[in-house]
Amino acid sequence: MEETKTNALTPQEQKDEEMINAAFKKLLDTYLASNHRRKVDIITKAFHFAKQAHKGVRRLSGEPYILHPIAVAQIACGEIGLGSTSICAALLHDVEEDTDYTNEDISNLFGPKVANIVEGLTKIAGGIFGDRASLQAETFKKLLLTMSDDIRVILIKISDRLHNMRTLSSMAPNKQYKIAGETLYIYAPLADRLGLNKIKTELEDLSFKYEHPEEYKAIEEKLSKTQRERDAIFNDFTPPIRAELDKMGLKYTIKARVKSPYSIWNKMQKKHVTFEEIYDILAIRIVFTPLKREEEINECFNIYVALSHIYKPHPDRLRDWLSHPKANGYQALHVTLMSRSGEWIEVQIRSDRMDDIAEQGFAAHWKYKDAGAEHDDNELNRWLNSIKEILDDPQPDTLDFLDTIKLNLFASEILVFTPKGEIKTMPANSTALDFAFSIHSFLGSHCIGAKVNHRLVPLNYRLKSGDQVEILTSRSQHVQREWIDFANTAKAKGKIQAILRRTDREHQREGEQLLKDFLTAKEIEPSTPNVEKLVQLHGYASREELLLAIGEKKVVLDENDVNCLRGKTASSGWRRYIPFIGSRTSSHVSSVAKAFVKGIDRKKTLMLDEETLEQCHLAECCHPIPGDDTLGYIDERNNLIIHKRNCEVANRLKSSYGNRIIATKWDTHKVHFFTCTIYIKGIDMQGMLCQIADVIHTQLNFEITRISLETKDGIFEGTLVIRLHDTDDVRDVCNALKRVQNVIKAVRVN
């Protein structure tokens, strides 16, 4: 049907139309420049269909909605290297969810392959940005299930997330924190595991930019200021290498790789160092075209030998990912060389093929590209299978599930041997117990120890590459609760938790019977309100926790429980003597505070002033103080808990309870004091303790509440717990301590 153009387009519509057509033309140009078969017609058809379906709809930024699917398709094609099927699915990925069209309509028009991918994407959409998304872990679970059917689903989902991150500025701050936290917790490690290094880095940097804008800006400025210095090192270091590679007759490029802002900041946080103390910001990357493709690994080693004649290599820092690639397909040879200016510089040697895989990931070369072709069972297949195993035994707690999966996502690998000499790839930091569960669940659950390299070791022994492991078992051995702390792999943790849950259910049944018998004997009805009173009395979070404690004999019911149920509160259990205990502090918040929390507008930024702070908790896990980047979390009991944005617990909350997150900003005026811990290290000299105390108490006039120092071999280190107002005070204290002679380090720690 032809439309009659009776109405001329308004200037805004004309502008929108030009913008949409330009974006689609760019997508087609990118597709035609690739080595995929030319299926322009079906892509154009999908574009027009999606454009019509989203007609009149705009994004929060104000631009026409269709620009989002085009941008997602552009990323999938241009940055991941996917073909026409994926481009069509990307263009149509929001049609089924946001319009009246069904999956059947899409299947009839574009075929079952495109329809299946769109259905997979629709299943996992479920309000990622909306109020429906109460548990992001559930979304993630669906994502993994669909991913194991067709890897293109997750690749398009990552493209979708990348575009949403690039346009995140139009969202409210609390949504920005939620989405950035979820990206850092789930999507960046997924991209990394699928070999999408470039996308992983951008997702991390964008998350960092929105969560910690000031730190991001500071690192960007420092990188910019030190650029000339790095250029000088690069220009001095590379000419002898170029001369040697020219002599070998290789076609190559040498690039400077600069550490990303997020990686730099992450290292600063973990190692408690400043920007100036990070020495691996610059690395050199050599990408060459092999003279013979089948000899590319040997040619990498030949380049290494040639380089070692020019510069001295570090004896302990040769990383060989050629013979045993990483689980995401990454192959390269990393060597650290001593430059003429006395600095260690990492050099990464890889072929052009290895470079493509490092940037785009071998997920882009998945088996769907060669229809009917048989592929070897590779690392990605094995990884997907290990995820399927975890999905077969779903965790009741979505946070536990996320943590379990993350163990698989982040792990780098070690190679260990069975007693018969077979090689087994394990995640780094795996223990003997992990190895036992990786062989068989029965072996793991009855494991009593192991022999590593013929030497007896305990269950929590951490394996190293090259270890030969023999597991020792006993039928009388059973899974213990502390084994959770011994296990570091997703599979082992999942199996241990499943076995413990079965045991817990038995204890809960016993506890339920004991409680029922006790209440019946005291002529009290075992009703839900009565049980809830006992739950609160003993300080447990749920009925199940109380029943488990009774079944395990951790709680013995007595007259206190009877008095509580009969309204005699004078003697209400030992917990009344301890106002705050662990995570149960929330039950003690006043009704005034709860009313205050209920009245908070979650879409606005909450100012943390003297009045507000009276109504909320400062999280024990990260001890935020004024000046820290923070967010608020409203728990199920309407308590407001303030966390630092980079706190591990906050990251889990952002990923699983995103809609309970609120944006916060400090507005204190050096009225209240907050506790802060400073780590200090230096060369031990007589009178050092007096000098430290003098700086803090006399010069700065802050109160030290605890001091703990230890000396060994002439070096002292320890912590000072100080009461101060904000992060400016922390900076002043650290700077003053560093000025004390022989103090090497003074940094704040959680």
> Encoding tokens for residue 742?
């022989």
Residue 565 corresponds to which tokens in the numbers above?
């149920």
CA gap 290, 252 in Å, rounded: 9
Nearest one of 49, 23, 156 to 105, comparing CA atoms: 49
Contact 696, 709 (CB under 8 A): no
Q: How far apart are CA 309 and CA 245, in angstroms?
A: 12
Looking at 63, 98, 244, 400, which residue is catalytic?
Answer: 98
How far apart CA 178 and CA 207 sit, in angstroms, is 10
Name the strands in the sheet holding 319-320, side by side, starting at the edge strand that comes first in the sequence: 251-258, 282-289, 344-351, 333-338, 319-320
Rounded CA-CA distance 363/366 in Å is 5
Going by their DSSP bridges, the two strands 282-289 and 344-351 should be labelled as parallel
For residue 677, how many other CB atoms are within 10 A of its CB?
17
Distances in whole angstroms, Cα of residue 220 to Cα of each of 205, 262, 281: 11, 10, 12
Euclidean distance between CA atoms 179 and 187, whole angstroms: 10
**List of residues 6+ apart from 137 with CB closer than 8 A:** 398, 399, 401, 402, 655, 656
Dihedral sign of CA atoms 487, 493, 497, 499 in order: negative
**Closest listed residue to residue 656, CA positions, set 420, 396, 398:** 398
Q: Does residue 742 contact residue 688 with C-beta atoms inside 8 Å?
A: yes
Label residues 410-432 b or e (16+ Cβ within 10 Å = b). Answer: ebebbebbeeeeeeeebbeebbb
> What is the C-alpha to C-alpha distance for residues 131 and 659, in angstroms, rounded to an integer?
6
Residue in 639, 618, 643 with CA at minimum distance from that of residue 631: 643
Contact 162, 202 (CB under 8 A): yes
Q: How far apart (Å, rounded) are the C-alpha atoms in residues 292 and 607? A: 64
97 is catalytic: yes
Are the C-beta atoms of residues 51 and 99 closer than 8 Å to each other?
no
Strands 630-634 and 251-258: unpaired
204 catalytically annotated: no
Q: Which of 63, 97, 244, 635 is catalytic?
A: 97
C-alpha distances (whole Å) from 680 to each of 91, 733, 745 are 55, 11, 5
CA separation (Å) from 536 to 541, 542, 578, 608? 8, 9, 14, 30
Tell me which residues are annotated as active site. Answer: 97-98
